[in-house]
């Protein structure tokens, strides 16, 4: 670093002589220092590449590492989505350019921002110029990663949009029927303006700085135009027209967003410069800056003076008289400038562009770390992993992720047929072939995984494990096949496969599939981390020994077929060929593989400050550049594409000619028009104009900075939400004051800059919202262009208390009401939705206990803001708040309407109550007997009644409880709370279930005669079968459990007397209620059920527990890894919870069965009897069981001398240890005795 400082000083000395501002020198200087160390190498390589192209040359590092190579090597290569050109690069000026090549090598200018699609190891990147939409290859060493906290959201939004459009080209246009993606852009712009403190027209910075003001206006114009395009697209899609105009609109959409971002970048450049030169209080922004390199520690106050006027770098100052600066004067200044300063107009622009990187140096996040030499061979092409992930695959088949998917799919396909073969045909010939195919496929997959693993500098251990595991599985599979063949050969000599070994094979194959899945998951994870890349070759790097065991002939066969497999297997990069011709047919959009490895990067322009100075003054090579981008449009593939210059000009209020010339909007012309020369003049004029005045202000800079500090501080006050309101209103007043723009424009701005939190949302792969901040979620609840997703709304209502408080929610809704304004197109619909959200909450989802805290706020809102805006709604909401209070005071019913989220189907099935109710199967004598037993005159047995009727009555009792389960009981593990659990109904369900189980055990164990016990068992099995017929799985489970409990199951003599038929039935039931494979059978059945039904509640309870435990409460916003990553609510977790609860609720439909009160009374009486008896615990039942059928000597397990077992031989009724405290003491005693008596 020391020498670096020295160099800086040196630079400082030269500063006044430099054209570019001070900071700029850092970059060329840096490259010079690199040049010193690398120049020989690179130049020699350059010549070598011409002669022999076989050499895989390490990429020229795009930026030199100051820290030195060793440190760099440890750096994980990070893929940057955006680069910014540091130098001009014009391919025609470089050596060895054929005509073909220039068509795909895209020229770049200083300051150009590039969306990168992939980076080849030789340092060339496939990118799209935002300025022109041109796509092609460009040298990364001319560029530098572009990223800044202020603009990051916007860039991310653009990346997202780009991915969406890529998807859209593949026909996936669904997303464009909503406008979420545009909201992302809006949010990005908003965030950007907020961070730059230019959100409102009144903000001091905007007032003070004409350039910024214009840029801001232009930015909003661009945004408005983008939104319009999006709307048009939406309409087109909804009207279902032919896809052609849609594609054109997609093009337009992308170009407009490019334009928007380009302008934002320029905005940021100007802003950053002025922010520093004026020493604005930028604590907000600067806090988020990455650590400033030492070179930037130059006193900012030096800079303005060090920035010479001749440079055209302008620090004009309008700050002193912000409002008095008239258009006319500005225009005048501009003309002066035109004549005086800007001899070649391009210079102005260049210098502006040139100043950009210097500024961004201090602002930027870490530079693109150049791949180290060692990695060079591996890093073929790095690709941006698409957010949406669907699109690129079809084209970039060589992408690692794509290869992985393909290989996995192929593998699954083969192994699927492999397994299928075993289940059906038994031809061993087929089998051999399929086995081999699967093995080959598996091997392919392993190769891909291997490649990915090696690419990962961290060498993910987990991936390695998974890979090894899979390899082992494969070996097993092969071995199993081999075994089988040898076995069949030996035993029968026929092509008959033993079923046993077949099963084994299938098992092996299945486990192979499983481990492959695991492996692929891990590999994907790694890819996500290191960025996608492309394969160079497909060398099968794995040991092939195990595969050889299968049989050579077949092996060869497969080998032959191999080349026919996915075409991407062919080595796509021909290292031997000199500079292969790039695809002229540009239909293959990304031509990433065509560039020869050895193609050298162009030499970086001479880095000495003086020379670069000179370079920037040379206008010569530049003009041509601007034309070529248009030739290669970003979607050059489509021949029908209209020429870019025919695109509608940015949507802006029609300005007068004089205005036009100085409007920053004119700058955009430069990017999109073919008449390069004149337009560039225009642009540079605009720039110089605004900045010139600043330069005049140079001396008084410090004074102004103080003033502005004071002025900007209010913006940092906590009342940030307020600013959004003032924003809206400020437009109106501002336009009146200054007539800068027409009324139309300000109105457009108003709803354009609609506050949005779309950037704080996370979507999952299915496009569902999986996370977001509270404001973002509330926004989704109240979108203006579409009715909110019903599932989302239900989940939100159900779970919001888990991630926010009612007060917070109410406040957030009211904030939304405030910031959305009352515009006809956006404000009013949203406000109505906000009212609806409140209404739904109060009507159907109100929980007085927790929500009453928010009642005051809601009432104030209803009678205040809401009534003012929507009188009717305000009145109704106010009424509701009162209603809710009354009900809360009066009844225990926690809600007005108990129709929460029941999913449609089940409700419709429920028809009028009286129709079609089956008659109870019960005779008069039975009823009399029941009545008698109630009075204690007679006693009944379960054998006295029809099993179906008993099952019905149980079901009615159970259903009553089940239907009264409230969703709140199921949230946040409420039912597991030991004390004061509100989950009364869930608790009652489990109690009833236990009671029923105990009743079963009790009725069986009550009888001393084994024959009688067997009859009782039979009766219970019958009841269980009827329960199944009634879809009462909960009772069924209880009965099965009891019949399978140790105390019943061990009664061998009894079971011997149970008929085979009964046992078989019981087995069937057991299979249905099998707990294995995560209740797979039961879940399957429940999926196809219609209500009424009583599912086994335990499944839901376990699911809810694991959703709660297995998913975090927050998740990170994507794309912002590292230091300032933001965590938002993990809504996915709540969606899952709501889904499970929704399932449970969908069955909450009462049965159409006639109750027999007498029987129910009797049942409850029995249950109470069992519950009250001392025996109602497992231990006493077990003792009873032992008493009935003592252990046989042979079956006896080694009985530990614990008091439990020894006492079990004595009277079962003697001991009662139901009191838990007793039990504990008793157990404690056991410990002490066993400790001494036993010595194992």
Partner 1 sequence: MSQREYHIVVLGSGGVGKSCLTAQFVQNVWIESYDPTIEDSYRKAIEVDGRHVILEILDTAGTEQFTAMRELYMKTGQGFLLVFSITSMSSLYELTELREQIRRIKEDDNVPMVLVGNKSDLEDDRSVPRPRAFKISQDWGNVPYYETSARRRANVDEVFVDLCRQIIHKDQREYNKRVPKPQKGRNKHRQHRGHRIPHCTIL
SS (H, E, C) 525-562: HHHHHHCEEECCCCCCCCCCHHHHCCCHHHHHHHHHHH
Residue 862 DSSP symbol: I
Any contact of residue 1101 with partner 1 (CB under 8 A)? Answer: yes
Question: In whole angstroms, how close is the CB of 419 to partner 1 at the nearest point?
Answer: 14
Question: In whole angstroms, how close is the CB of 1178 to partner 1 at the nearest point?
Answer: 6
Any contact of residue 1175 with partner 1 (CB under 8 A)? Answer: no
Q: Which residues, numbered 183-242, are part of the site for partner 1 (CB under 8 A)?
A: none
Using CB under 8 A, which of the segments 25-33, 176-184, 695-703, 1101-1109 binds partner 1?
1101-1109
Q: Which residues, numbered 405-464, are part of the site for partner 1 (CB under 8 A)?
A: 462
Burial of 1041 (0-12, 13-18, 19+ CB in 10 A): middle
Q: What number of chain residues touch partner 1 (CB under 8 A)?
A: 82
Any contact of residue 1207 with partner 1 (CB under 8 A)? Answer: no
**What is the separation of C-alpha 176 from the centre of its chain, rounded to a whole number of angstroms?**
18
Q: Which is nearer to partner 1, 869 or 981 (CB)?
A: 981
Neighbours of 728 (CB within 10 A): 23
Any contact of residue 1223 with partner 1 (CB under 8 A)? Answer: yes
Residue that has been written with the tokens 């009790």 in this structure: 1002
One of 412, 507, 540, 542 touching partner 1 (CB under 8 A): 507
Using CB under 8 A, which of the segments 14-22, 193-201, 916-924, 1223-1231 binds partner 1?
1223-1231
Six-digit token string for 1141 = 């609860």
Any contact of residue 1163 with partner 1 (CB under 8 A)? Answer: no
Any contact of residue 863 with partner 1 (CB under 8 A)? Answer: no
Q: Which residues, numbered 111-150, are part of the site for partner 1 (CB under 8 A)?
A: none
Six-digit token string for 48 = 């070598």
Contacts of 320 (CB under 8 A, 6+ apart): 697, 700, 704
Using CB under 8 A, which of the segments 123-131, 251-259, 772-780, 1096-1104 binds partner 1?
1096-1104
Any contact of residue 1230 with partner 1 (CB under 8 A)? Answer: yes
One of 50, 75, 412, 469 touching partner 1 (CB under 8 A): 469
Q: Which is nearer to partner 1, 177 or 981 (CB)?
A: 981
DSSP per-residue letters across 140-185: GGGEEE---HHHHHHHHHHHHHHHHHHHHHTT--GGGGS-HHHHHH
Any contact of residue 1195 with partner 1 (CB under 8 A)? Answer: yes
Question: In whole angstroms, how close is the CB of 283 to partner 1 at the nearest point?
Answer: 34
Q: What is the three-class DSSP state of 1037?
A: helix
Question: In whole angstroms, how close is the CB of 735 to partner 1 at the nearest point?
Answer: 47
Residue 945 DSSP symbol: S
Contacts of 846 (CB under 8 A, 6+ apart): 884, 894, 895, 896
CB-CB contact of 588 with 392 (8 Å): no
Q: Which is nearer to partner 1, 471 or 841 (CB)?
A: 471
Q: Which residue, among 1223, 1181, 1178, 1186, has the nearest Cα to 1206 in the 3D structure?
A: 1186
One of 975, 1020, 1033, 1212 touching partner 1 (CB under 8 A): 975
Q: Which is nearer to partner 1, 203 or 1045 (CB)?
A: 1045
Any contact of residue 770 with partner 1 (CB under 8 A)? Answer: yes
Any contact of residue 473 with partner 1 (CB under 8 A)? Answer: yes
Q: Which is nearer to partner 1, 610 or 1075 (CB)?
A: 1075
One of 150, 262, 428, 515 touching partner 1 (CB under 8 A): 515
Q: Which residue, among 245, 237, 262, 252, has the nearest Cα to 109 in the 3D structure?
A: 262
Question: In whole angstroms, how close is the CB of 511 to partner 1 at the nearest point?
Answer: 5
Give the C-alpha separation, 705 to 1049, whole Å: 88
Q: Which residue, among 316, 300, 225, has the nearest Cα to 702 in the 3D structure?
A: 300
Q: Which residues, numbered 1052-1091, are part of the site for partner 1 (CB under 8 A)?
A: 1073, 1075-1078, 1080, 1083
Give the C-alpha separation, 267 to 906, whole Å: 57
Q: Which is nearer to partner 1, 394 or 1237 (CB)?
A: 1237
Contacts of 869 (CB under 8 A, 6+ apart): 817, 822, 831
Give the C-alpha separation, 692 to 308, whole Å: 11
DSSP per-residue letters across 81-126: SEEEE-S-B-GGGSTT--HHHHHHBPPB-TT-EEEEEEE-TTSEEE
Question: In whole angstroms, how close is the CB of 432 to partner 1 at the nearest point?
Answer: 19
Question: In whole angstroms, how close is the CB of 1143 to partner 1 at the nearest point?
Answer: 9
Q: Which residues, numbered 1119-1158, are part of the site for partner 1 (CB under 8 A)?
A: 1132-1133, 1136, 1140
One of 1103, 1142, 1148, 1153 touching partner 1 (CB under 8 A): 1103
Per-residue x/- mask for partner 1, residues 926 to 965, rule CB under 8 A?
A: ----------------------------------------
Six-digit token string for 1089 = 């059920």
CB-CB contact of 208 with 198 (8 Å): no
Any contact of residue 76 with partner 1 (CB under 8 A)? Answer: no
One of 932, 1098, 1119, 1150 touching partner 1 (CB under 8 A): 1098
Phi, psi of 138 (to 5 degrees): -150, 150
Residue 126, beta-bridge partner list: 118, 137
Contacts of 717 (CB under 8 A, 6+ apart): none
Per-residue x/- mask for partner 1, residues 349 to 388, rule CB under 8 A?
A: ----------------------------------------
CB-CB contact of 1042 with 997 (8 Å): yes
CB-CB contact of 316 with 697 (8 Å): yes
Q: Which is nearer to partner 1, 836 or 1234 (CB)?
A: 1234
One of 930, 1023, 1038, 1167 touching partner 1 (CB under 8 A): 1038
Give the C-alpha separation, 31 to 39, whole Å: 10
Question: In whole angstroms, how close is the CB of 221 to partner 1 at the nearest point?
Answer: 39
Q: Which is nearer to partner 1, 321 or 1229 (CB)?
A: 1229
Give the C-alpha separation, 1087 to 1095, whole Å: 11
Any contact of residue 1215 with partner 1 (CB under 8 A)? Answer: no
Q: Which is nearer to partner 1, 631 or 1081 (CB)?
A: 1081
DSSP per-residue letters across 47-80: HHHHH-TTS-PPPPPSS--SS-HHHHHHSPP---
Phi, psi of 162 (to 5 degrees): -60, -45
Give the C-alpha separation, 780 to 786, whole Å: 10
One of 828, 887, 896, 1041 touching partner 1 (CB under 8 A): 1041
Question: In whole angstroms, how close is the CB of 641 to partner 1 at the nearest point?
Answer: 39
Using CB under 8 A, which of the segments 351-359, 371-379, 533-541, 1199-1207 binds partner 1?
1199-1207
Residue 863 DSSP symbol: I
Q: Which is nearer to partner 1, 238 or 462 (CB)?
A: 462
One of 1110, 1123, 1192, 1194 touching partner 1 (CB under 8 A): 1110
Any contact of residue 994 with partner 1 (CB under 8 A)? Answer: yes
Residue 139, beta-bridge partner list: 124
Question: In whole angstroms, how close is the CB of 1063 to partner 1 at the nearest point?
Answer: 16
Cis preceding-peptide flag for 1092 (omega within 30 of 0): yes
Any contact of residue 1045 with partner 1 (CB under 8 A)? Answer: yes
Q: Which residues, numbered 525-554, are part of the site for partner 1 (CB under 8 A)?
A: 525
Q: Which residues, numbered 705-764, are part of the site for partner 1 (CB under 8 A)?
A: 764
One of 189, 508, 922, 1163 touching partner 1 (CB under 8 A): 508
Any contact of residue 903 with partner 1 (CB under 8 A)? Answer: no
Residue 1122 DSSP symbol: S
């Amino acid at each position: 670093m020391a020498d670096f400082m020295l160099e800086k000083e040196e630079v400082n000395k030269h500063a006044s002589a430099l054209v570019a501002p001070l900071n700029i020198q850092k970059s060329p200087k840096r490259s010079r220092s690199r040049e010193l160390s690398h120049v020989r190498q690179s130049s020699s390589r350059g010549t070598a590449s011409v002669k022999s192209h076989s050499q895989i040359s390490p990429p020229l590092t795009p930026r030199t590492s100051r820290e030195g190579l060793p440190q760099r090597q440890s750096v994980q290569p990070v893929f940057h989505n955006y680069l910014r050109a540091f130098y001009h690069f014009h391919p025609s000026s470089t050596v060895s350019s054929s005509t073909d090549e220039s068509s795909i090598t895209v020229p770049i200018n200083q300051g150009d921002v590039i969306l990168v699609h992939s980076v080849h190891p030789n340092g060339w990147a496939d990118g799209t110029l935002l300025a022109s939409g041109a796509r092609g290859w460009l040298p990364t060493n001319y560029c530098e990663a572009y990223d800044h906290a202020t603009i990051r959201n916007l860039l991310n939004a653009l990346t997202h949009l780009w991915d969406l459009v890529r998807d859209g080209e593949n026909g996936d246009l669904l997303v464009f029927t909503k406008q979420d993606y545009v909201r992302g852009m809006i949010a990005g712009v908003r965030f950007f303006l907020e961070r730059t403190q230019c959100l409102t027209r009144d903000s001091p910075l905007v007032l003070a700085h004409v350039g910024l003001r214009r840029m801001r206006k232009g930015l909003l114009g661009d945004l408005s135009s983008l939104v319009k395009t999006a709307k048009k697209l939406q309409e087109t899609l909804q009207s279902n027209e032919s896809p052609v105009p849609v594609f054109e609109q997609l093009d337009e959409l992308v170009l407009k967003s490019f334009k928007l971002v380009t302008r934002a970048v320029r905005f940021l450049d100007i802003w950053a410069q002025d922010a520093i030169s004026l020493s604005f209080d930028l604590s907000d922004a600067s806090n988020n800056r990455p650590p400033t390199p030492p070179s930037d520690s130059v006193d900012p106050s030096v800079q303005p003076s060090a920035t010479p006027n001749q440079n055209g770098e302008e620090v004009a100052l309008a700050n002193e008289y912000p409002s008095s600066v008239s258009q006319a004067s500005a225009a005048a200044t501009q003309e002066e400038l035109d004549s005086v300063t800007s001899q070649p107009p391009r210079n102005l622009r260049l210098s502006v562009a040139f100043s950009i990187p210097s500024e961004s140096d201090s602002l930027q996040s870490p530079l693109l770390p150049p791949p180290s030499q060692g990695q060079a061979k591996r890093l073929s092409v790095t690709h941006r992993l698409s957010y949406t992930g669907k699109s690129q695959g079809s084209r970039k088949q060589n992408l690692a992720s794509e290869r992985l998917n393909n290989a996995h799919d192929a593998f699954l396909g083969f192994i699927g047929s492999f397994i299928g073969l075993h289940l059906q045909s038994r031809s061993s010939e087929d089998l051999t072939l399929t086995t081999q195919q699967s093995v080959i496929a598996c091997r392919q997959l392993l190769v891909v995984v291997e490649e990915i693993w090696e690419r990962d500098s961290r060498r993910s251990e987990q991936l390695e494990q998974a890979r090894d595991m899979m390899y082992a599985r494969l070996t097993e599979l092969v071995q199993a096949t081999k075994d089988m063949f040898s076995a069949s050969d030996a035993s029968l000599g026929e092509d008959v496969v033993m079923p046993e070994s077949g099963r084994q094979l299938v098992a092996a194959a299945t486990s192979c599939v499983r481990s492959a899945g695991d492996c692929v998951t891990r590999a994907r994870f790694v890819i996500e981390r290191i960025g996608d890349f492309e394969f160079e070759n497909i060398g099968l790097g794995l040991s092939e020994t195990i595969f050889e065991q299968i049989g050579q002939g077949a092996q060869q066969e497969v080998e032959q077929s191999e080349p026919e497999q996915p075409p991407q297997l062919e080595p796509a990069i021909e290292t031997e060929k000199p500079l292969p011709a790039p695809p002229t047919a540009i239909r293959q959009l990304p031509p990433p593989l065509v560039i020869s490895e050895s193609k050298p990067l162009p030499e970086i322009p001479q880095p000495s400050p003086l020379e670069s100075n000179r370079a920037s003054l040379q206008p010569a090579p530049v003009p041509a550049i601007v034309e070529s981008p248009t030739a290669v449009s970003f979607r050059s593939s489509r021949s029908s594409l209209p020429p870019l210059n025919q695109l509608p000009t940015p949507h802006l209020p029609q300005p007068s000619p004089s205005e036009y010339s100085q409007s920053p909007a004119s700058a955009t012309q430069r990017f999109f028009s073919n008449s390069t020369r004149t337009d560039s003049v225009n642009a540079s004029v605009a720039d110089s104009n605004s900045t010139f005045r600043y330069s005049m202000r140079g001396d008084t800079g410090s004074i102004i900075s103080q003033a502005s500090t004071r002025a900007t501080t209010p913006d940092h006050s906590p009342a940030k939400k307020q600013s959004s309101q003032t924003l809206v209103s400020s437009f109106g007043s501002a336009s009146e004051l200054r007539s800068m723009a027409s009324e139309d424009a300000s109105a457009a701005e108003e709803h354009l800059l609609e506050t949005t939190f779309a950037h704080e949302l996370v979507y999952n792969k299915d496009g569902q919202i999986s996370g977001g901040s509270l404001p973002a979620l509330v926004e989704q609840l109240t979108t203006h262009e579409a009715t909110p997703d019903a599932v989302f709304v239900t989940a939100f209502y159900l779970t919001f208390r888990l991630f926010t408080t009612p007060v917070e929610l109410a406040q957030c809704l009211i904030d939304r009401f405030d910031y959305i304004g009352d515009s006809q197109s956006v404000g009013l619909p949203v406000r109505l939705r906000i009212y609806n959200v409140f209404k739904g909450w109060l009507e159907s989802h109100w929980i007085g206990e927790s929500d009453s805290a928010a009642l005051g706020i809601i009432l104030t809102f209803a009678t205040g803001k809401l009534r003012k805006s929507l009188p009717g709604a305000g009145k109704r909401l106010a009424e509701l708040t009162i209603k809710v209070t009354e009900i809360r005071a009066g009844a225990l019913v926690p809600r007005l309407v108990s129709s929460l989220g029941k999913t449609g189907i089940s409700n419709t099935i429920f028809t009028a109550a009286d129709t079609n109710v089956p008659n109870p199967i019960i005779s008069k004598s039975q009823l009399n007997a029941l009545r008698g037993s109630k009075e204690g005159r007679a006693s009944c047995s379960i054998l006295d009644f029809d099993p179906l009727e008993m099952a019905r009555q149980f079901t009615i009792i159970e259903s009553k409880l089940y239907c009264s389960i409230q969703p709140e009981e199921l949230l946040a593990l409420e039912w597991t709370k030991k004390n004061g659990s509100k989950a009364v109904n869930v608790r009652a369900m489990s109690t009833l279930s236990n009671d029923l189980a105990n009743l079963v055990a009790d009725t069986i164990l009550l009888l001393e005669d084994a024959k009688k016990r067997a009859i009782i068992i039979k009766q219970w099995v019958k009841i269980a079968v009827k329960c199944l017929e009634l879809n009462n799985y909960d009772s069924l489970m209880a009965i099965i459990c009891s019949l399978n409990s140790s105390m019943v199951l061990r009664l061998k003599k009894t079971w011997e007397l149970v008929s085979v038929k009964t046992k078989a039935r019981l087995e069937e039931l057991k299979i249905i209620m099998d707990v294995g494979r995560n209740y797979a059978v039961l879940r399957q059945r429940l999926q196809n059920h219609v209500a009424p039904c009583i599912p086994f509640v335990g499944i839901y309870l376990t699911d809810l527990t694991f959703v709660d435990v297995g998913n975090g409460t927050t998740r990170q916003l994507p794309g912002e890894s590292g230091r300032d990553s933001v965590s938002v609510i993990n809504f996915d977790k709540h969606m899952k919870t709501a889904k499970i609860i929704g399932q449970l609720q969908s069955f909450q439909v009462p049965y159409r069965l006639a109750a027999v009160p007498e029987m129910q009374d009797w049942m409850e009486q029995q249950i109470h009897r069992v519950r009250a008896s001392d025996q109602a615990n497992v231990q006493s039942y077990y003792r009873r069981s032992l008493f009935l059928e003592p252990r046989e000597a042979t079956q006896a397990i080694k009985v530990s001398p614990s008091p439990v077992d020894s006492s079990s031989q004595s009277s079962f009724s003697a001991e009662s240890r139901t009191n838990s405290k007793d039990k504990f003491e008793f157990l404690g005693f056991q410990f002490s005795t066993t400790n001494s008596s036993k010595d194992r």
